[in-house]
């Protein structure tokens, strides 16, 4: 059965691939699973039909037969568990790859989201100029640790996995901030993720929603 995911009808990032449907699209492309996309407006996301799928009125969601899921991490994990290509077969390596998925979402993404809030929503606050450098230093703490762990490896733990997919997408949210550039091995890691054919297909598909042109 072809799964259906939801994505923004008009993404605030103007097709830069930062919305979280991109992670799900990327995972689906990595495992070679065709999918459909239902676009939702901000208004529709808060209406009962969508709230029945997503209790917080957000995207992405994932529907496959009588299964409906929300939370990008849970969706990518579901895809990775049921299809080859995103999790190693060996049990311990698989568990470690899953740890990296959680690390991306629970340890690295929170300070990055805090910065986003500071930049976008706290623009007019008098204390913003004092808060932003502190938030950015908290990101640097995490990136320094991550950079040390990655070293000169291509991926976080052996072959590319759902852990890398999630981490690369989380780090992409720093695009344009200049912070990622302070860690050349992390910049190169993100570039490796973006160079994957599956990433490119997913990116083109979400960009096409914004431009209205079909992906080439
Ligand atoms: N933790 C959730 C976050 C979902 C989320 O924040 N989605 C954003 C788009 S990337 C959204 O729907 N924002 C609109 C809103 O919250 O009203 C996940 O990973 O799926």
- Is residue 7 within 6 Å of ligand 1 at its C-beta? no
**Contact indicator for 101, 166 with CB cutoff of 8 Å:** yes
User: SS3 for 5?
Assistant: strand
Dihedral class, residue 176 (left if φ above 0, else alpha if ψ from -120 to 50, else beta)? left
Q: pLDDT (tens digit, 9 = 90+) per residue, 57-113?
A: 999 999 999 999 999 999 999 999 999 999 999 999 999 999 999 999 999 999 999
Q: Give the predicted TM-score (pTM) of the model.
A: 0.97
% the chain with pLDDT above 70: 100
- Is residue 19 within 6 Å of ligand 1 at its C-beta? yes
For residue 167, report the distance from its CA to the centre of ligand 1, in Å: 17
Q: Which residues is 57 bridged to in the sheet?
A: none
For residue 110, report the distance from its CA to the centre of ligand 1, in Å: 13
For residue 56, report the distance from its CA to the centre of ligand 1, in Å: 8
For CATH 1.20.1050.10, list the domain ranges present in the chain: 91-196
For residue 21, report the distance from its CA to the centre of ligand 1, in Å: 9
Distance CA 198, CA 204 (A): 10
CATH architecture observed for domain 91-196: Up-down Bundle (1.20)
Extract the tokens encoding 137. Answer: 């230093």
**Confidence band for 162, pLDDT divided at 50, 70 and 90:** very high
Distance CA 146, CA 171 (A): 11
| Predicted local distance difference test score (pLDDT) of residue 216 | 65
Q: pLDDT (tens digit, 9 = 90+) per residue, 126-144?
A: 888 899 999 999 999 999 9
Distance CA 31, CA 206 (A): 18
Q: Which of 93, 67, 90, 66 is nearest to 78 (CA)?
A: 67
- DSSP state letters, 12-65: TTTTSS-STHHHHHHHHHHHT---EEEEE-HHHHTSHHHHTT-TTS-S-EEEET
- Is residue 59 within 6 Å of ligand 1 at its C-beta? yes
What's the CATH class of domain 4-85+198-211? alpha beta
- Is residue 20 within 6 Å of ligand 1 at its C-beta? yes
User: What letter would DSSP give residue 177?
Assistant: T
Distance CA 116, CA 61 (A): 22
Please tell me the residue having the least CA distance from ligand 1 atom 11: 58
Please state the rounded mean pLDDT for residues 146-174: 98
The pairing of beta strand 36-40 with beta strand 67-70: unpaired
**Count of other CB atoms within 10 angstroms of residue 189:** 23
Host H or E run for residue 6:
strand 4-8
For CATH 3.40.30.10, list the domain ranges present in the chain: 4-85+198-211
For residue 152, report the distance from its CA to the centre of ligand 1, in Å: 32
């Amino acid at each position: 059965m072809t799964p259906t995911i939801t994505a923004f009808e008009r993404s605030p990032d103007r097709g830069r691939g930062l919305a979280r449907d991109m992670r799900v699209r990327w995972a689906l492309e990595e495992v070679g699973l065709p999918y459909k996309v239902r676009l939702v407006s901000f208004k529709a996301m808060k209406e009962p039909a969508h709230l029945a799928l997503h209790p917080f009125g957000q995207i992405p969601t994932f529907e496959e037969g009588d299964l409906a899921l929300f939370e990008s991490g849970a969706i990518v994990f579901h895809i990775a568990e049921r299809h080859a290509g995103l999790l190693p077969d060996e049990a311990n390596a698989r568990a470690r790859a899953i740890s990296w998925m959680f690390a991306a979402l629970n340890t690295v993404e929170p300070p990055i989201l805090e910065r986003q809030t500071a930049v976008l929503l706290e623009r007019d606050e008098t204390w913003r100029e004092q808060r932003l450098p502190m938030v950015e230093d908290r990101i640097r703490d995490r990136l320094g640790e991550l950079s040390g762990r990655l070293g000169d490896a291509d991926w976080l733990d052996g072959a590319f996995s759902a852990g890398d997919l999630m981490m690369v997408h989380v780090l992409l949210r720093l695009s344009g901030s200049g912070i990622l550039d302070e860690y050349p091995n992390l910049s190169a890691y993100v570039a490796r993720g973006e160079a994957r054919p599956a990433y490119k297909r997913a990116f083109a598909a979400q960009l096409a929603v914004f431009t209205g042109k079909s992906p080439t």
